[in-house]
Chain A
Amino acid sequence: MCDAGGVRMNLATGPDPTDLLTLPWSVPLEEWPHEHLVSLPRGISRHVVRFATIGGTVYAVKEIAQETAQREYGLLRSLARAGIPVVEAVGVVSGRATPAGEPLDSALVTKHLRFSLPYRALFSRRLDHDLETKLLDALAELIVKLHLAGFAWGDCSLSNTLFRRDAGALSAYLVDAETGQLHPRLSDGQRDYDLELARTNLGGELLDLQGAGLLSASVDPITTAESVVDRYCRLWDELTRPQTISADEWDRIEQRLRRLNALGYDVSQIEVDEVEGRPEIFLQTQVVEAGHHRRRLQQLTGLDVGENQARRILNDLDTFRAQAVMPGTDVDEAEVARHWKSDVFEPVVALIGPELAAKLEPAEFYHEVLEHRWFLSEAAGRSVPLEKAARSYIDTVLRFRPDERAVLDPTLMGVGQVEAAEDS
């Protein structure tokens, strides 16, 4: 906690509070001078939101009542601890007042998620032909993760979500937890209600995109919105359905656990009941901490990337190992990973150069290069070296992509920002 002239800052460990002190807390957010702001989006949510850069980090600042700010801060931190993809809550600034002594609302400060994209940005600069599918899969998976953690969102929507590219797919991050509630476990009613909200909000958002001319003519907003429920149910069922087995079929449980791992989940507890003399296995008690591949890659290389990116890179790492290590020799896995990182990954990423660094996140770039190499190799009928593929990708693709490091364009920040549309 840091006290400065009546302004109280409760900050998570990490940012230097003196950095945040340089912001003009005694001025209503709506009137913050331009020099502090990255751009002027007129509200990502119901409240005033501004983006400020300090020391190369972009912060999102949302003005809300103190109680709400503290509550949302707590929820975001709890979700992050549970391994749920959410924006990083940095702190709450309270006790704000104008120089004349008029009290101002508190401010919730979060760190802007680098290379994240609001859904409107994905649609307006469409690079994927199957964007709707990717988007809905990502959102459904996020809702499943939240529900497994006992979080009833209360306002599931694309507007309250940010997306990051994840090895060609998308992964979704929760941005707004204001309406959420954390319970030890959710009832079916709570899950149903969240899904009903998701379906309705998505319907509205897709209809709005259609109104703005951003939706493909082939996409029906209503059936597309409805499909989020099916996607959710398929995944939820896969992760939580009870399974009855015979006494000699325990290997089926192992298969199931492997399948869950392959989906990027771990199971921390297995409950066994008996139904008519046969064991019935419940896995739904605590499916925790998604991100199996992600954690494994991080342990091996220190790289913190998306789950699909991690899966892709681990495959590449396996290939590297097969090529680099003599069969039958015992080389430590971490040792191989270190070599791969310094000899393969880093040289390729370094080819991007500073002028193109804002285009794509390094891990996604690496994934794209691997894809590109596959196409080049197919066309050439022989294996194309990685460096050559990387240079080709940079010159023929990357250079022409829009920047994605910090998409803060007010007109792309989601709906509910009627004002943003006014400005456009």
Chain B
Amino acid sequence: MASISFQKAQRWYPGADTPAVPGIDLEIEDGEFMVLVGPSGCGKSTTLRMLAGLEEVNSGHIFIGDRDVTKVPPKDRDIAMVFQNYALYPHMTVADNMAFALKMAKVPKDEQDRRVKDAARILGLEEYLDRKPKALSGGQRQRVAMGRAIVRNPQVFCMDEPLSNLDAKMRVHTRTDIAKLQRDLGVTTVYVTHDQVEAMTMGDRVAVMKLGELQQVDTPLNLYDKPANLFVAGFIGSPQMNLLEGVAANGAVELGGYAMPLGEAAPHAEGKVTVGIRPESWRIVAASEGGLAVVVTVVEELGADGFAYGTADLDGTAVDIIVRVGGREAVHKGETLHVVPEPSKVHVFDTATGERLS
């Protein structure tokens, strides 16, 4: 096991006008589960592939532990790419299915056996070791595939969208399995996904990327509670954070006739700002109390709670608003809600730079 350090690591594809990753600085601790997340083209896969040795690093360095691996061939980096292939061989036992790569790497037989047994114990497959894969359930087969990576005892696991080919149910199931397994094994893991829910539920820390640059590297909760900029604010959270542009003056921001108090968030903010309110941070008030008027267009009932989707008129522009409502709260399509934010849960960003002010 080892820490990972990206030091101004750059990837510039031949012929491209701009680098795919201009120079990333990222420290990943020993045993940490780091998720790289961002929209398509943000450089997350390129970053992972630089670590795995599949992309050339044009400048800068990458360290695994104390070792500079920038120029080391992939197979000598002691990294396991997980899930590239989870085909199981039907005529080999579960144990052989896990051990064959060790056999190929000329690992002594007793060492192979020991590693396979250890992996089987962690994966709950001990009693199946002598059976053929057809005797296993779908989930168990998945675990055998994971076992194949585990027995190699790598310093680092790299996973590039490993769940993208699974159906929704299997995805949730496998997500939990991987997260638990990583915690049990304590192997440093770098995981790439475009799905922010996957990132938030799996990572010890999450690195949000856009156009090859890190936007914020933080724990899932901090990303949610204190997004560093407008991009992170909009990207993390489902449904999305409400982002409303307005002009701040005297401790409030003017939103289509409603002066939303900025309270302690950014009391001295002036000029063009964007306020961010998560759907659950609105409070529904009586019309007489003022607040932002939202005309409800769709109500999504989820049982325990629900979401009202609507629009607010901000100086002639209809702006989409999402409000979380209690599952038993009677909110109807066409109705006008009046909402105010929880004062401590208002995020304020500079509209021009996107930076957080609060």
Q: Which residues of A contact B (CB under 8 A)?
A: 46-47, 64-65, 68, 105, 152, 154-155, 157, 159, 178-179, 183-185, 187-190, 192-193, 196-197, 199-201, 203-205, 207-209, 211-212, 222, 225-226, 415-422
B104/A415 in contact, CB under 8 A: no
Q: Give chain A nearest CB distance to B277 CB in angstroms.
A: 32
Closest to A421 in B: B90
In chain B, positions 29-77 with a C-beta closer than 8 Å to chain A are 52-56, 73-75
Q: Does any Cβ of A come within 8 Å of B133's Cβ?
A: yes
Q: Does any Cβ of A come within 8 Å of B238's Cβ?
A: no
Q: Give chain A nearest CB distance to B68 CB in angstroms.
A: 15
Q: How far is the CA of A185 from the CA of B133 in the complex (A)?
A: 38
A65/B87 in contact, CB under 8 A: no
Q: How far is the CA of A204 from the CA of B133 in the complex (A)?
A: 14
Q: Does any Cβ of A come within 8 Å of B175's Cβ?
A: no
Q: Chain B residues with Cβ under 8 A from A187's Cβ?
A: 54-56
B14/A418 in contact, CB under 8 A: no
Q: How far is the CA of A188 from the CA of B141 in the complex (A)?
A: 33
Q: A190-B54, A204-B92, A208-B90 are in contact. List 11 more A-B contacts (CB 8 A).
A: A105-B167, A184-B15, A188-B73, A192-B53, A199-B104, A201-B85, A207-B92, A207-B96, A415-B88, A417-B90, A419-B134
Q: How far is the CA of A68 from the CA of B56 in the complex (A)?
A: 26
A47/B75 in contact, CB under 8 A: no
Q: Chain B residues with Cβ under 8 A from A65's Cβ?
A: 164-165
Q: How far is the CA of A211 from the CA of B164 in the complex (A)?
A: 32
Q: Does any Cβ of A come within 8 Å of B86's Cβ?
A: yes
Q: How far is the CA of A152 from the CA of B89 in the complex (A)?
A: 24
Q: Give chain A nearest CB distance to B49 CB in angstroms.
A: 8
B96/A68 in contact, CB under 8 A: no
Q: How far is the CA of A422 from the CA of B91 in the complex (A)?
A: 11
B87/A189 in contact, CB under 8 A: no
Q: Give chain B nearest CB distance to A303 CB in angstroms.
A: 37
Q: Give chain A nearest CB distance to B161 CB in angstroms.
A: 10
Q: How far is the CA of A9 from the CA of B81 in the complex (A)?
A: 35
A193/B54 in contact, CB under 8 A: yes
Q: Chain B residues with Cβ under 8 A from A212's Cβ?
A: 90-91
B104/A225 in contact, CB under 8 A: yes
Our pick among A184, A200, A211 for the contact of B91 (Cβ within 8 Å) is A211
Q: How far is the CA of A313 from the CA of B74 in the complex (A)?
A: 43
A208/B104 in contact, CB under 8 A: no
Closest to A424 in B: B90
B134/A418 in contact, CB under 8 A: yes
Q: Give chain B nearest CB distance to A353 CB in angstroms.
A: 38
A205/B74 in contact, CB under 8 A: no
Main secondary structure of the interface of B (DSSP, over half): loop
Q: Does any Cβ of A come within 8 Å of B222's Cβ?
A: no
Pick 6 A–B contacts, CB within 8 A, sort by A.
A105-B167, A157-B87, A189-B53, A189-B73, A204-B92, A415-B89
B87/A154 in contact, CB under 8 A: no
In chain B, positions 99-121 with a C-beta closer than 8 Å to chain A are 100-101, 103-104
Q: Chain A residues with Cβ under 8 A from B88's Cβ?
A: 415-416, 418
Q: How far is the CA of A226 from the CA of B55 in the complex (A)?
A: 24
Q: Which of B89, B92, B133 is packed against the most chain A CB atoms within 10 Å?
A: B89
Q: How far is the CA of A219 from the CA of B103 in the complex (A)?
A: 16
Q: How far is the CA of A209 from the CA of B278 in the complex (A)?
A: 57
Q: Chain A residues with Cβ under 8 A from B100's Cβ?
A: 203-204, 207
Q: Does any Cβ of A come within 8 Å of B201's Cβ?
A: no
Pairs A-B, 9 closest by C-beta atoms? A416-B87, A211-B91, A421-B90, A208-B89, A212-B91, A189-B53, A193-B74, A203-B104, A187-B56
B96/A192 in contact, CB under 8 A: no
Q: Does any Cβ of A come within 8 Å of B13's Cβ?
A: yes
Q: How far is the CA of A204 from the CA of B86 in the complex (A)?
A: 12
Q: Does any Cβ of A come within 8 Å of B18's Cβ?
A: no
Q: Give chain A nearest CB distance to B135 CB in angstroms.
A: 9
Q: Chain A residues with Cβ under 8 A from B167's Cβ?
A: 105
Q: Give chain A nearest CB distance to B351 CB in angstroms.
A: 33
Q: Chain A residues with Cβ under 8 A from B75's Cβ?
A: 192-193, 196
Q: How far is the CA of A225 from the CA of B73 in the complex (A)?
A: 20
B56/A189 in contact, CB under 8 A: yes
A159/B56 in contact, CB under 8 A: no
Q: Which of A185, A416, A420 is packed against the most chain B CB atoms within 10 Å?
A: A416
Q: Chain B residues with Cβ under 8 A from A64's Cβ?
A: 165
Q: Does any Cβ of A come within 8 Å of B84's Cβ?
A: yes
B14/A185 in contact, CB under 8 A: yes
In chain B, positions 131-182 with a C-beta closer than 8 Å to chain A are 132-134, 141, 164-165, 167
Closest to A223 in B: B104
Our pick among A178, A189, A190, A200 for the contact of B104 (Cβ within 8 Å) is A200
Q: Chain A residues with Cβ under 8 A from B73's Cβ?
A: 188-189, 192
A208/B15 in contact, CB under 8 A: no
Q: Chain A residues with Cβ under 8 A from B87's Cβ?
A: 46, 157, 159, 201, 204, 415-416
Q: Chain A residues with Cβ under 8 A from B55's Cβ?
A: 187, 189-190
Q: Give chain B nearest CB distance to A311 CB in angstroms.
A: 34
Q: Give chain B nearest CB distance to A111 CB in angstroms.
A: 23
Q: Give chain B nearest CB distance to A403 CB in angstroms.
A: 24
Closest to A225 in B: B104
A420/B74 in contact, CB under 8 A: no
Q: How far is the CA of A199 from the CA of B97 in the complex (A)?
A: 15
Q: How far is the CA of A415 from the CA of B91 in the complex (A)?
A: 9
Q: Chain A residues with Cβ under 8 A from B91's Cβ?
A: 208-209, 211-212, 421
